[in-house]
Structure 1
Amino acid sequence: MSVCKHIRNQGYSQREFLVLRRWAIYPHPSVPHYTNKLFTHHELQHSDYLSQLCIGYRHILFWARWVVTVIWRCIFCAYHKLFGRKYTPLPPIEDLALVQSATTLAEWIRRGKRSAESVVRAYIHRIQTVNATLNALVDERFAAALEEAREVDHRLASLTKQEREALADSHPLLGVPFTCKDNIKLTDMNHTGGIVSRRGIKAEQDAVVVARLRMAGAVPLGVSNVPELAMWCETSCTMYGRTNNPYDVTRTPGGSSGGEAALLSSCGTALSIGTDVGGSIRIPSFCCGTFGHKPTSGWVSLEGAGLFPDALNDSFGIQVVGPMCRCARDLTLALQVMAPHAAKDLASKVQHTDLRDLKFWWCEGLDTPLCSPLDPALRHALTAATHYLSTTFEAPLEKLEWPRDMSIATLMWNNKLRDDYRGQPPMTVDMTNRKGRVSLLAEGLRWLCGRGRFTFPLLMMATFQKLLAVNEDPQDSPHYWKPMQEFLMGTLGKTGVLLLPTLPQLAFLHHEFVPNMLDFGHTCIFNTTEMPVTAVPLGLSKDRLPLGLQVVVSPGQDHISLAVAQALEDKFGGWVSPVPVTV
């Protein structure tokens, strides 16, 4: 039964039906337990003003939001033009190894085309030349990495050709350099989460995901910058400073894995490891034009991939660890190493996925005037991608209609956070490294006086968390996350694929995300619903800023989104270097 017919059968008047249909706030028939109406039948009968606002003023609200977006953009452009720092442009790429995929580098090293030491040295030199501009890497182990690379070369020199080829299975990343973000443990490297109360703290052991990469032969170079507590969509903290986008230093690389994305896109690393609790892999991947994958919840161990061990439970569906790469096929290789049990035979599954058997869904975002309007370049990229997939593979294509007003996406995400992290202390406690509690009023005054110990976004997030704190059970909330998960899983099934923008605007100028923070709903809704997602770059805009989209599938169907990502890379080219390649 259609939504329209389902609503009419409940006895609503034509006017009430228009309100419900326009805002899609009535329970969707495919979600039997969805009982969280925003308005009751009685309220609709006696709410002429509300009906007129929803129906008559909806387009006006969208236009008003567009005007607000333009005004904010002009303000931030003027600010960066007048007060922005001058940076040295990134140098061109002069070593062919820097633009190769991790898969290709591993093959070169195994076959002796390049030594592991020369590859690692090339990446170290690249980091040293770009980091002054990007401020991405915050702690390094270059000497140790070179020593490990020499050990790889010595080992390879003693093997026969057949033994070297066998390493493709036992050590598929042998000699390949990688980095991870500061909140993921790498032995003897900073493990601060960007908060001043953890200054000087070093990791005493590797996170499980780092240990698995090292067992596969990968060589860690260091750790990268994160926003404080890894809880913001830009990468800036009082301890390390701000990380810049390699395509335009006045813009953010995203967050919270922004340091990784900036390094990866500028060819400072061959493989990056990030965490994602609300978009922290996909937003930086979008802003920096790389691939990133948020895997099915529970696939990759969370042990060591955070600041506080009791908050890292693999049963928590909202947080995941995943890879970021310049090549779509590297995502599959990295996942097989990071999740050896869950991702077993993943490459074979991706290879044998027939895109003609899939059904594609699309939408232009959350369809709410509270979010930024969709940039025309992103709309064109989305249209081109969906047209290519539907025509080339003769697959059905249908627009997704959200079952309710999605301006509450961030509230559902907060509900999921409270559901997963029951009993965990608030951010004001985490800000002290769990050795007290921060006074938000006092810290806010310190920030206003220019002596703040925390950034404004962290203080804002902590304030929102405090204001939204309620004693009710998350399941009793009108924003309970489970019905939305049931809707998406019921819609996509095992062969459905949803394509939508990662963000509605291109990479934001520094600090511009603050007035546009509800745009974060485009990514966090899939953490809320525990859906695996692949971020896919689709080239550059006319202003040479990355374009891209998200490929969403049902839990456990990661091979489908990875196969779609490879198809889109083959068509649209994938990652594009932010600087000239002169080799």
Structure 2
Amino acid sequence: MQISNSRTVSIKGHYPYCYDEKFKDALVLGPMTRYAKDLRLMMKILLGDKLTTQLKLNQRVDLNKLKVYFMEDNDSVIETRVDPAIKSGVRTAVKYLKANFQCQIIEHKFKEFQYVITACAKDVFSIKDLPNPLKGILSQVMRTQIWQWRLSNAFFGQSQYSPHLLNYQLLLKVFETLIPDHSQEVAALKKTVTEHLGENGILLYPTNVSSATKHNEFFFTASSASYAVLANSLGCPATNVPCGFDKNGMPIGIQVIASPNQDRLCLAVAEELEKCFGGWMPPK
């Protein structure tokens, strides 16, 4: 799956939609394909000739000149630990690239990643004018006792509101009232990451802390969303690469992140790592 950097692929016609400029940066789209080689073709179709040329998608990438940064986790004390199988996927990818190319391998800890979940979530929750299904009854729904009752009922399918919707409204209120603005921190982090990666660097990083969770388990691992939201919040392209299965037979993956407008690096590395991991395989 390729998620392009913000404002590259058009979101015209997407629902929901709002006119806050932050929304155009937060919602980014890209293709999902079974085989890595098809991502480049799909991206070119979505972008059109002009942007394809600007992003140099037709140019060959020399992986021997690549700088490969990697992190197995972000060392955050408030987040769920990354599954050992996913950490192993990061290490396997690094070993493969080191053995087959003369690229520069750099194990670098971006210390700021420890705080990504708070900073990036504040950025997302500050978007104005998003369609609100609870408009008009929100104050009643969010009263503490009523909210607790509604949320408990929602978990058992006995509410007209989903637990995710109610939880979102609660988090929205928390971030609005308790969490300070982090836009400067996000901007500084973007500057740090893009300066390190430049025009020929990529970061190998977990896509998530685990394989797909069961329904409503997200409430107990919500902090792990920082792995998925990182590239999105920084305006960077990212490509998820399947790297096998966990101990339960569920598919897992790692992501290839590059600087803004360096999508071609993500795509080239994804195509190469597909050879390493065997690419798409039917679920066990």
Specify the TM-score bucket, using the shorter chain as the normaliser: 0.7 to 0.9
Q: For 1:551, which of 235, 238, 256 is the aligned residue?
A: 256
**Do residues 388 (structure 1) and 96 (structure 2) align?**
yes
Q: CA deviation at 1:322?
A: 1.1
Find the aligned partners of 1:356 and 1:466 in 2 and give their Cα distance. 49
Query: 1:310 is matched with which residue?
Result: 19
Q: TM-score, normalised by structure 1?
A: 0.44
Query: 2:186 is matched with which residue?
Result: 481
Identity value in percent: 25
- SS of 1:300 mapped into structure 2: coil
- SS of 1:466 mapped into structure 2: helix
Which stretch of structure 1 is more off in the superposition, 442-451 or 497-506?
442-451
Query: 2:132 is matched with which residue?
Result: 430
Are 1:382 and 1:501, in contact at CA under 8 Å, matched by a contact in 2? yes
Q: CA deviation at 1:374?
A: 2.4
Find the aligned partners of 1:480 and 1:454 in 2 and give their Cα distance. 34
Inter-CA distance 299–390: structure 2 relative to 1 (3 Å threshold):
same
Query: 2:280 is matched with which residue?
Result: 575
Are 1:444 and 1:459, in contact at CA under 8 Å, matched by a contact in 2? no
Q: CA deviation at 1:448?
A: 3.0
Are 1:363 and 1:400, in contact at CA under 8 Å, matched by a contact in 2? yes
AA matched with 1:317: D
Q: CA deviation at 1:361?
A: 0.4
Runs of 5+ consecutive residues of structure 1 not aligned to the other structure? 1-291
**CA offsets per residue over residues 293-351 of structure 1, 9 Å max, x none?**
1102111111111223435x5983222111111011111111111111322485522xx
**CA offsets per residue over residues 532-571 of structure 1, 9 Å max, x none?**
1000101234532213100000000000100000001122
AA matched with 1:529: L
Are 2:5 and 2:232, in contact at CA under 8 Å, matched by a contact in 1? no
**Do residues 413 (structure 1) and 120 (structure 2) align?**
yes
Q: For 1:445, which of 149, 153, 164 is the aligned residue?
A: 149
AA matched with 2:133: M
Q: For 1:370, which of 60, 64, 78 is the aligned residue?
A: 78
Are 1:443 and 1:454, in contact at CA under 8 Å, matched by a contact in 2? no
Are 1:409 and 1:525, in contact at CA under 8 Å, matched by a contact in 2? yes
Runs of 5+ consecutive residues of structure 2 not aligned to the other structure? none
Find the aligned partners of 2:249 and 2:153 in 1 and give their Cα distance. 38
Query: 2:64 is matched with which residue?
Result: 356
Find the aligned partners of 1:483 and 1:512 in 2 and give their Cα distance. 33
Q: For 1:534, which of 239, 250, 254 is the aligned residue?
A: 239
- SS of 1:360 mapped into structure 2: strand
Are 2:73 and 2:87, in contact at CA under 8 Å, matched by a contact in 1? no
Q: How many residues align structurally?
A: 275
**Do residues 566 (structure 1) and 274 (structure 2) align?**
no
**Do residues 297 (structure 1) and 1 (structure 2) align?**
no
- SS of 1:323 mapped into structure 2: coil
Q: How does 1:154-553 map to 2 (within 5 A)?
A: 292-311=1-20, 316-340=24-48, 341-344=50-53, 347-349=57-59, 352-404=60-112, 406-417=113-124, 421=127, 424-425=128-129, 430-432=132-134, 436-438=136-138, 439-441=141-143, 442=146, 444-449=148-153, 451-470=158-177, 474=181, 477=182, 480-553=185-258
Inter-CA distance 559–314: structure 2 relative to 1 (3 Å threshold):
farther
Are 2:206 and 2:253, in contact at CA under 8 Å, matched by a contact in 1? yes
AA matched with 1:373: R
- C-alpha RMSD of the superposition: 2.5
**CA offsets per residue over residues 201-233 of structure 1, 9 Å max, x none?**
xxxxxxxxxxxxxxxxxxxxxxxxxxxxxxxxx
**CA offsets per residue over residues 426-448 of structure 1, 9 Å max, x none?**
6xx6124xx53422234543343
Find the aligned partners of 2:10 and 2:82 in 1 and give their Cα distance. 35
**CA offsets per residue over residues 438-487 of structure 1, 9 Å max, x none?**
2223454334346322222221121111111159984xx48731011011
- SS of 1:348 mapped into structure 2: coil
Find the aligned partners of 1:472 and 1:569 in 2 and give their Cα distance. 41
Q: TM-score, normalised by structure 2?
A: 0.87
Find the aligned partners of 1:449 and 1:473 in 2 and give their Cα distance. 32
Are 2:6 and 2:25, in contact at CA under 8 Å, matched by a contact in 1? yes
AA matched with 1:440: M
Find the aligned partners of 2:246 and 2:151 in 1 and give their Cα distance. 36
AA matched with 1:371: E
Q: CA deviation at 1:524?
A: 1.1
Q: CA deviation at 1:399?
A: 1.1
